[in-house]
Structure 1
Amino acid sequence: MYPNFRLAHLVKGDLLLARTRPLTTFGNVEGPGQQVEALREEAVARLRAYRERPATEFVPRYLMQMGPEQQYAVVVDAERARLYVYRNDNGRPRFVTDYYASHGKAGVEKWREGDNRTPLGVYHVTSFIDPKRLPDFYGSGAFPINYPNDWDKRLGRTGHGIWLHGTPSDTYARPPKASEGCVVLANQDFSSLSNYVQPGLTPVIISNEIEWLSVDDWQRNRRNLNDAIEAWRQDWESLDVERHLSHYAKDFRSDRLDRDAWASQARRIAKGQRALKVAIDKLSMFRNPGKDELVVVTFEQTLRGQGLADTQRKRQYWVREGGRWKIAYESAA
């Protein structure tokens, strides 16, 4: 078999050997064998994927709302060594396909450069790197993602160069935990995935194990945060600065300002306005995997007022504080 599909070779060898004598273990190897154990983990992951197909009545809780220009979203389940693709059906995610995928040798939840872990969080594909510009190790190409994102940097996480990419031309697939932090697919799967990825737009949510919601619960969660965002927009538009600032967390900061400096800026802007129009468009909301309630909200913001005309792409990180959704971080997207 070419490229070298090691698991297929091993299974074929077991089947041939079983014709002559009973097999005692997978690979019929006595004692610990690191390579055979890695192949066994791959076999378990592939079998599990066939047995546990995503139910159509459930959706990943992370895909709260896809933006109108985002045609697809990618969700990685490290525990199952699986990458799922969802289509944007008027904001609701619809399952399209899935692929076997490897991740970091040391597991997930990356914190520092060189720890061989894959990050957990909400990211976006930033570009496509043509295979002609890469060593053969990366196979059919690469999609870099924006790790570390603003929230990672706020928490002090370091590292760089986290990509979705293919495998060397002589290798079909790698064991579930085999990379230095990247998400790795077989070349034919990477080429198929390329049909769904829009550099600069496609979200990539990497989780340890996907949490699923019924459509009713998903709609309820989505509505609650949408209501909080709309209240923030209306309070800003009203020029009631204190009400507007009530939507910001105690430890809020932007890429340049802490909460006190942000409040001073808001008061200064409001003081010079008789009326302010705040419009939000192309809104997306993606919940961060993990126990903390954190949602990445991205939108196009337009401000119109006296001597003020501005449109820019914004990204906010919303958290739960005192039972309410509040903004913990804001920057240009």
Structure 2
Amino acid sequence: MRYLVFLSLCALALYAATAEDIYRIYKTKGIDAVEDFLKQEFESKEVKTFQKPVVSKTPVEPKVIKKEPKVKVVKAKNPTEKELISKDFWLKQIRGMDVAYGYYEDLDSLIVCEKERKRCEVYRNSEDEGLELIKGHDVIMGKNGDKIKRGDLKTPVGVYEITKRFKPSDPFYGPLAFSLSYPNLFDVLRGKNGSGIWIHGMPLDGKDREDLSKGCVVMENDAIQVLDTEINANKTMTIIGENKVPPMSKEVVATLLSEVYKWQRAWKVNDINMYLNYYSNDFKKVDGSRKEQFAAMKKQIFSRKEKKTITFEHMNIAPYPTLDNRKVFKISYYQTYKSPSFASKGEKELYVELVGKKMMILAEK
């Protein structure tokens, strides 16, 4: 009977050994040897069943996408004249900065408006990182085309500073308004006129009226209150384009910066030919005089060979939108000028065109 039981166990344990093996053990060593053999086989199988399998493959490390480290550029505090006129120097200085809508040393915020899209975007400016988009606002603006004259109901295309933040006396203009510096020098010299171009809100009575814009930039009242928290009105510039404002490349910014300082150097050393070579044949002074009269006056001054000290501070360069897609820019800075016969300090404005890699001055104030 004991023999039959163990034969049944043998049938169940075929995965460990064959029936012939067990029978041979039984015939040669007896039933006790069969019991020992089966006990060893079952215990060994149980251990193998519950044992964690050993993985012989070498573990594969997860793929890590390495981000390019941000390069911290230590800006030169007192750059030499040789550095200032070098485009490579400026390319290093602006590396890592967002200069798509300009280079600004003395600006807190920038508003970029597109008439066609009826949209204004607000940017915060950082000395180290350049421009950072804060928020976009839907707006209403004037008729298509650049503003030419008073009453044409067009929003001007160009670059303008905020000159004042105020609460309008007429509720038609909403709870808050910012006046813009239209017409600027470039506008005046091109015969454009008019005034009173604001960024303002909607009628406080909530009623829709015709010609809400009248050439201004109009925002919902909630939005203009938000805008007031986003900008420092005393240091904010507004760029208005008919459609998308063409972005600037670092190459263009560096070229303009080096060109400005080359022009400054020619001025310092009384190199009249190089100096006048930076002025376009279309150049006009603020008084309306043209290049011929300006050149005659400068030749007389340069002939004195006086030693001059000229410094530029708080340099700002903005792309200046035009309907004919010319590469025009507004350059503004604080200038200190000193010579034996004359001294002055004050804000300076240049309106320049980039022709190839050459800066040509169109207007100067």
**TM bracket, shorter-chain basis:** 0.7 to 0.9
Structure exhibiting the larger radius of gyration computed from Cα positions? 2
Report the Cα offset of residue 270 of structure 1: 2.2
Aligned residue for 2:183? 148
Size of the aligned set, in residue pairs, is 266
Report the Cα offset of residue 112 of structure 1: 1.9
Q: Deviations over 1:208-253 (max 9, x none)?
A: 222454xxx6211110111111110111111111111111111212
Among candidates 276, 281, 298, match of residue 250 of structure 1: 281
Report the Cα offset of residue 255 of structure 1: 0.7
TM-score scaled to structure 1, two decimals?
Answer: 0.73
Residues 82 and 239 of structure 1, relative CA distance in 2, 3 Å threshold: same
Report the Cα offset of residue 172 of structure 1: 8.7
Give the root-mean-square deviation of aligned CA atoms. Answer: 2.4
Q: Hey, what's the Cα distance between the residues in 1 that align with 2:253 and 2:320? A: 14
Among candidates 234, 253, 271, match of residue 222 of structure 1: 253
Judge conservation of contact 1:250–1:259 (CA < 8 Å) in 2.
yes
Q: Deviations over 1:142-195 (max 9, x none)?
A: 1111112111122222221111001112339889x8421110011111111122
Among candidates 169, 175, 179, match of residue 204 of structure 2: 169
Report the Cα offset of residue 60 of structure 1: 7.8
Judge conservation of contact 1:172–1:187 (CA < 8 Å) in 2.
no
Query: Is 1:125–2:156 an aligned residue pair?
Result: no
Q: Hey, what's the Cα distance between the residues in 1 that align with 2:115 and 2:207? A: 19
**Equivalent residue runs for 1:51-70 within 5 Å:** 61=100, 63-68=101-106, 70=107
Aligned residue for 2:139? 101
Report the Cα offset of residue 123 of structure 1: 0.9
| 2:131 partner amino acid | P
Residues 307 and 321 of structure 1, relative CA distance in 2, 3 Å threshold: same
Aligned residue for 2:335? 301
Q: Hey, what's the Cα distance between the residues in 1 that align with 2:246 and 2:274? A: 35
Q: Deviations over 1:12-55 (max 9, x none)?
A: xxxxxxxxxxxxxxxxxxxxxxxxxxxxxxxxxxxxxxxxxxxx
**Equivalent residue runs for 1:301-320 within 5 Å:** 301-320=335-354
Aligned residue for 1:22? none
Report the Cα offset of residue 258 of structure 1: 2.0
**Equivalent residue runs for 1:145-294 within 5 Å:** 145-171=180-206, 178-211=212-245, 213=247, 218-256=249-287, 257-290=289-322, 291-294=325-328
| 1:80 partner amino acid | R
| 1:94 partner amino acid | E
Q: Hey, what's the Cα distance between the residues in 2 that align with 1:208 and 1:154? A: 20
Secondary structure, counterpart of 1:265 in structure 2: helix
Judge conservation of contact 1:273–1:305 (CA < 8 Å) in 2.
no
Residues 159 and 318 of structure 1, relative CA distance in 2, 3 Å threshold: same
Give unpaired runs (5+ residues) of structure 2: 1-95
**Equivalent residue runs for 1:34-73 within 5 Å:** 61=100, 63-68=101-106, 70-73=107-110
Residues 150 and 212 of structure 1, relative CA distance in 2, 3 Å threshold: closer
Q: Hey, what's the Cα distance between the residues in 2 that align with 1:173 and 1:111? A: 27
Query: Is 1:81–2:113 an aligned residue pair?
Result: no
Q: Which runs of 4+ in 1 moved over 4 A?
A: 57-61, 172-175
Q: Hey, what's the Cα distance between the residues in 2 that align with 1:58 and 1:186? A: 32
Q: Hey, what's the Cα distance between the residues in 1 that align with 2:357 and 2:280? A: 12
Q: Hey, what's the Cα distance between the residues in 1 that align with 2:329 and 2:314? A: 16
Q: Hey, what's the Cα distance between the residues in 2 that align with 1:58 and 1:283? A: 15
Report the Cα offset of residue 283 of structure 1: 0.8
Q: Hey, what's the Cα distance between the residues in 2 that align with 1:60 and 1:251? A: 28
Judge conservation of contact 1:82–1:98 (CA < 8 Å) in 2.
yes
Q: Hey, what's the Cα distance between the residues in 2 that align with 1:151 and 1:305? A: 28
Secondary structure, counterpart of 1:264 in structure 2: helix
